[in-house]
Amino acid sequence: MRTHRFLAIGLLAAVTVAAAACGSAASVSQAAPAPGAAQTVASAAPAATAAPVEVHLYMSILTGGQNGKKGWPEYIPANFTVPANAIVDVQIRDFDDGPATVSTGMNQVKGTVGGTMQVIDAVNGPVEQQPAKTLTEIPANDVAHTLTFSGKGFSLNVPIPPTSTVEFSFKAPAAGTYLWQCESACGTGTDGWGGPMATNGWMQGIMTVTQ
């Protein structure tokens, strides 16, 4: 039997809506596990070959209107920890309704299990009960944000449409620290690469992988 550990990180139960940096946001009412809670839900006797640990990572993308800092969209959480070699099941709810410019290829899914992601056209409530589309890419002009790892040792790119929920899985790399960056120009400045794009904890962050 597979060992499951659920890692519920940095979710919001409800968020007040206002204007956004890359767009405005849909109303938010989202049930979530307690932040930082980790719960073992199943265990098995040691086996000769153990199946990979599976954890769940829940993230949200807030607009500047929601977090009170105009022009600064924000990943919650931006910094997170996962076990080495685990299968990480990720859900990202994007409350931003505006797309932004991305470089060539950043609209394609790369590095996920199966090379795909699930897209749900909803952000509130039990989105898991809504219909989902399995995609390998989205139109470049329909990307609001990305979750992109491009450093040595780990590569991943997931494009995220406006006002949607995306779900995907990836296999965590070896123990270490890995920087991720949103590759959608959704920040401040004339080119959209200032402010949150260049600040840890906003549109970039660190994945810490533990042994």
Q: What is the mean pLDDT of the chain?
A: 85
Identify the pLDDT of residue 124: 96
Residue 119 Cα distances to 19, 132, 154, angstroms: 24, 5, 23
- Which helix (DSSP H) or strand (DSSP E) does residue 66 occupy? helix 64-67
* Conformational region of residue 128, where left means phi above 0, alpha means psi within -120 to 50, and beta covers everything else: alpha
Mean local confidence (pLDDT), 119-127: 97
How many angstroms separate the first and last alpha carbons of the chain? 21
What are the phi and psi torsion angles at 67 (to 5°)?
-95, 0
Q: 4-210: what CATH class?
A: mainly beta
pTM, rounded to two decimals? 0.80
Would you kindly state where each structural domain of the chain is located, as residue ranges?
Answer: 4-210
* Whether pLDDT at 1 is above 70: no
What is the per-residue pLDDT across 36-57, written as a single tens digit (0 to 9) for each? 434 434 445 555 677 889 999 9
Mean local confidence (pLDDT), 84-107: 96
Helix, strand and coil in the chain, % to nearest 5: 10, 40, 50
Answer for the pair 75, 61: CB distance below 8 angstroms, yes or no.
yes
What are the phi and psi torsion angles at 135 (to 5°)?
-130, 155
Please report the sign of the dihedral spanned by the C-alpha atoms of residue 15, residue 18, residue 20, residue 26.
positive
Identify the pLDDT of residue 21: 44
Residue 107 pLDDT grade (very low, low, confident, very high; cuts 50, 70, 90):
very high
Token pair for residue 84? 């080495």
Q: Which residue has the tokens 């060539």?
A: 104
